[in-house]
Amino acid sequence: MITAPVLRTLCSFPIVSVPMNDTHITSTITIDPVRIGADAQQRAIGALIGATVGDALGAPFEFGPAGAYSARFPTPLRGTSTEMVGGGAFDWAPGEFTDDSQMMLALAESLLARGGLDLDDLWARFRAWRSGATDCGTTTAGALAHEDRHGAAADVHRSWGRTASNGALMRTWAIALAFVGHDTAEVMKVARAQAELTHFDPLAGWSAAIGTELCRRAILGADPTTQIDDVLSFVDESYRAEFARLLSPRWEPNLDTDHSNGAATICLAQAVWALRGSRDFESAMRLVIDLGGDTDTVACVAGALAGAVYSVQGIPSRWLTVVHGSFSTPSGRVGYRYADLLDTARLLLGRDRAGRSRLEVPAPPQRVDEEVPVFASDLGGAIECDGDFATVSLCLIDGRLDHHTVRRELYMRDEEGHDENVNLLAAVEDAVSSIDALLADGHRVLVHCHGGRSRTGLVLKAWAMRRYSFTEAEAHAWLEARWHRYQPWNTTFTEFLRDTWEPAVRI
């Protein structure tokens, strides 16, 4: 937790006069839902879940030195042990997200309950969250100690003089989803309004607004690093030049050593810097956590942006599977896991929760390879089988495989069309690499989807193609002879294996 004296060092931006903020808003800013395609939906889900994953991944290194992540994990850990180790100053469980994601989800629940931004409702939820929070930033805690939201942030600012910390930025991402169809000015207004409940300094509010709008544009398919100049045109001229400097491609983290990533502006700048230097979600996380400092928050911010760029399919399954957390609400304590986060993202987009099909007659695990213990089944078979199997799940499992202590969950849609799986290459590479890593650790590996047919076939064929240098046709014949549920009806999957995966594994 950041104490008040440290906060003044982290956020030491001089403010001569501070204009009135948006906490005077009394009516709900209503969400106008729009329909977006499956590709944008997956990027939106990636933004919400990416924030929680970055938060949980960075938590053990909070306020540690630069390079600590890579010192502990010089290479990726894809097997039984992963980088989700937990610990840190507050002894988080492996995969447990912190106050960053807790507040984001409290905001999400308010948006859903009220159909938009209702500051009175949000204030009540933030105060309920604070009542049971393990960790809370000093600025946020100071504001939420007030019963009445009106004047709370201003009172803290008058007492301390500086309130430009990153607590308002870290929690803003639900707005990018709920207001995805709104224009830039409206989105940034909403982001600033939620920020100013607790953070009076305009730099905190503008950081949240810029981050939210960059995330929204990434969800809609734009490269957020190319959108910065246009987004900054909506920022008050008094602050525009400073943000332009910090978000420039020429900026490096070591250029602002006077301010840490506990400051909202530096936190946002470091997240954008890591996104620019990344090739995938995983590399963005390594870059940003290795900066040290407030690692859970800066990784939360980078995770939201990278999740929107690389989609939920780009988030490594070894992290996505175990991310979880809970927090206090006005109605009691609530918990979230991967499936809950996915459903929340869909609801914020104006969609229903993800569909769950009824279980079929279980197809028990069937070994499909003579050399190594790789098995296939459907979901029912995975539920009923021995927990000693390490499972690779290609459908929603809703906690029904918790008896399998080693497992992976991946987001994959069994629909035709390239937009239905926006980052299919990353998902298949993840699944195949997970199989190999778990085999190397001595596990029997069980691959399944809901019915054990199309998605199971895709991944098992991809695995065989890489292991045995098969063509797609050879992999088809191999699996057809070994797994009775296999059905290659999805032509998009077949085309992917033939046109994308086959050339890649033959390099």
Question: What is the predicted pLDDT for the residue at 357?
Answer: 84
**CA angle centred on 76, ends 74 and 79, rounded to 5°:** 130
Predicted structure pTM score = 0.94
Establish if 311 belongs to a structural domain: yes
DSSP annotation of 312 reads G
* Residue 122: per-residue pLDDT: 98
Count of other CB atoms within 10 angstroms of residue 65: 11
Please tell me the total count of domains within the chain: 2
Task: Provide the CA 179 distance to its chain's centre, in angstroms.
Answer: 18
pLDDT, tens digit only, all 507 positions of the chain: 343 333 333 343 333 334 445 445 667 899 998 999 999 999 999 999 999 999 999 999 999 999 999 999 999 999 999 999 999 999 999 999 999 999 999 999 999 999 999 999 999 999 999 999 999 999 999 999 999 999 999 999 998 888 889 999 999 999 999 999 999 999 999 999 999 999 999 999 999 999 999 999 999 999 999 999 999 999 999 999 999 999 999 999 987 666 799 999 999 999 999 999 999 999 999 999 999 999 999 999 999 999 999 999 999 999 999 999 999 999 999 999 999 999 999 999 999 999 888 999 999 999 999 999 999 999 999 999 999 999 999 999 999 999 999 999 999 999 999 999 999 999 999 999 999 999 999 999 999 999 999 999 999 999 999 999 999 999 999 999 999 999 999 999 999 999 999 999 987
Residues 51 and 169 in one domain: yes
DSSP secondary structure letter of residue 357: P
* Residue at token pair 């190594």: 372
Task: Please identify, among 284, 319, 347, the residue that sits at the C-terminal boundary of a domain.
Answer: 347
Distance from C-alpha of 165 to C-alpha of 111, rounded to nearest angstrom: 23
Q: Which of 374, 25, 20 is nearest to 201 (CA)?
A: 20
Q: Which of 5, 485, 34, 455 is nearest to 216 (CA)?
A: 34
Q: Do 303 and 402 lie in a common domain?
A: no
Tell me which residue range forms the domain holding 487. Answer: 364-504
Q: Return phi, psi of residue 300, to 5°.
A: -65, -45
Q: Please, how many CA atoms are within 13 Å of residue 397, restricted to the half-sphere of its CB?
A: 27
User: Which residues face 403 on adjacent strands?
Assistant: none
Query: Given this model, what pLDDT does residue 275 score?
Result: 99
Summarize the chain as % helix, strand, coil (round to 5): 50, 10, 40
Residues 421 and 326 in one domain: no
In a domain, 27, yes or no: no
As a whole number of angstroms, the distance between CA 406 and CA 37 comes to: 33
Looking at residue 24, its pLDDT comes to: 52
Is 37 part of a structural domain of the chain?
A: yes
Around Cβ 158, how many Cβ atoms within 10 Å? 12
| Confidence (pLDDT) at 15 | 34
C-alpha 301/C-alpha 169 separation (Å) is 8
Q: State residue 10's pLDDT score.
A: 37
Question: 284 and 370 share a domain?
Answer: no
- CB 185, CB 243: distance < 8 Å: no
User: Do 273 and 402 reside in the same domain of the chain?
Assistant: no
How many C-beta neighbours within 10 Å does residue 504 have? 13
**Do 155 and 205 belong together in one domain?**
yes
CA dist., res. 340 & res. 381, Å (int): 23
Q: Do the domain assignments include residue 357? A: no
C-alpha of 226 from chain center: 21
